[in-house]
Chains A and B, each alone.
Chain A
Amino acid sequence: DIQMTQSPSTLSASVRDRVTITCRASQSISSWLAWYQQKPGKAPKLLIYEASSLEGGVPSRFSGSGSGTEFTLTISSLQPNDFATYYCQQYDTYPLTFGGGTKVQIK
């Protein structure tokens, strides 16, 4: 199985901060990576697919980059609605695997 490792596991930030979350794959997954946002008690919401393609309706302050084994999700200016947990998911190879999550909390 491909292991997905996210860092940090928790991140404290303030509104308008630039935030970067890293996801590393245990082997190359090309650009077959998605990012999700999840709020407590809710289903995950797709933000980005194919490492850098923004899902329709997602604000442009979210961006993704990377390929191979290292990927980043960046929020250019953190908004109050962005405090949540973020997960990466690889879909290069079955079984599909998710990262452990990064909780973005208020500083």
Chain B
Amino acid sequence: QITLKESGPTLVKPTQTLTLTCTFSGFSLRTSGVGVGWIRQPPGQALEWLALIDWTDTKRYSPSLKSRLTITQDTSKTQVVLTMTNMDPVDTATYFCAHSFVATSFFDFWGQGTLVTVSS
């Protein structure tokens, strides 16, 4: 059974760096074809893809946010970490991590999401 869960701060101040952790089970990032992505959703708005890391450690980023994002994996702990620098109130959103097969890159299993508010 595949599960994912996001963790991290619920409140960050403008200009701070956000670090979110996705802890997963039921699959391994050592398995060929597997990837983990991050997607966010501002309140009342649509989904926005942020980043994805795959079993080869290839990393892909949204071009509009690439300069602010870093995605890494820790295979021994079955975790994927996303950092986003220089946070702004417009980055207030629910952040989801999700499982995909990289050959296709749709997301078949999702975490519950974590709401991050950016405010001073």
Contact = CB atoms under 8 A, between A and B. Distances in A.
Interface residues of A, number: 24
B104 A49 contact: yes
Tell me whether chain B's interface is mostly helix, strand or loop, or mixed. strand
Interface string B18-62: 000000000000000000010100000011110010000000111
B110 A43 contact: yes
B105 A91 contact: yes
Given A1-B63, A95-B62, A95-B63, A46 B107 contact: yes
A50 B60 CA distance: 21
Given A1-B63, A43-B96, A43-B113, A98 B108 contact: no
Contacts of B47: 36, 38, 44, 87, 89, 98, 101
A35 B60 CA distance: 22
Given A43-B96, A43-B113, A98 B106 contact: no
B49 A98 contact: yes
A99 B104 CA distance: 18
Contacts of A95: 49, 60-63
Interface of A: 1, 32, 34, 36, 38, 42-46, 49-50, 55, 87, 89, 91, 94-101
Interface of B: 37, 39, 46-49, 52, 60-63, 96, 98, 104-108, 110-113
